[in-house]
Amino acid sequence: MKYSTPRPPHLNNGKGLNKALLPDVREYLIAQGIEPKGRTLWIKVVCPFHDDKAPSLSINTQKGCFKCFACEAKGGDIIAFHMQLKGIGFVEACKQLGAWEES
């Protein structure tokens, strides 16, 4: 049976996504050249998904969920953001973010 989301580690022999290893959202944004301003839960930044001059992308700095009010890019976590930013799949995004374990 195929799963659309990673199986819990106890069912996956320790392989798969470990959310505890995901990077801090603010640190990730800075590493990607996106300057987060402010210290609130939701911040606005210039959207990397379209030619943006004014901040139109809102990002939750705790979970990484995001929505652009100009181009409608959206996602539920930092993994989805990285997938869209780099144009890659789920497993590759998790590996690049350092959150994929291969026992």
pLDDT at residue 37, rounded to an integer: 85
Residue 37, in any domain of the structure: yes
Residue 39, in any domain of the structure: yes
* Residue 12 belongs to some domain of the structure: no
In a domain, residue 62? The reply is: yes
User: pTM of the prediction?
Assistant: 0.83
What is the CATH number for 87? 3.90.580.10
Would residue 42 be called left, alpha or beta, if left means φ above 0 and alpha means ψ between -120 and 50 degrees? beta
pLDDT of residue 14: 66
Boundaries of domain holding 50 = 24-94
pLDDT tens-place string over residues 3-59: 455 555 555 556 899 999 999 999 999 999 998 888 899 999 999 999 999 999 999
C-beta of residue 57 within 8 angstroms of C-beta of residue 66: yes
Placement of tokens 């939701």 in the chain:
42
Any domain includes 99: no
Higher pLDDT pick, 95 / 1: 95
pLDDT digits (tens, 9 = 90+) for 45-89: 999 999 999 999 999 999 999 999 999 999 999 999 999 999 999
Residue 70 lies in a domain: yes
Please count the structural domains in the chain.
Answer: 1
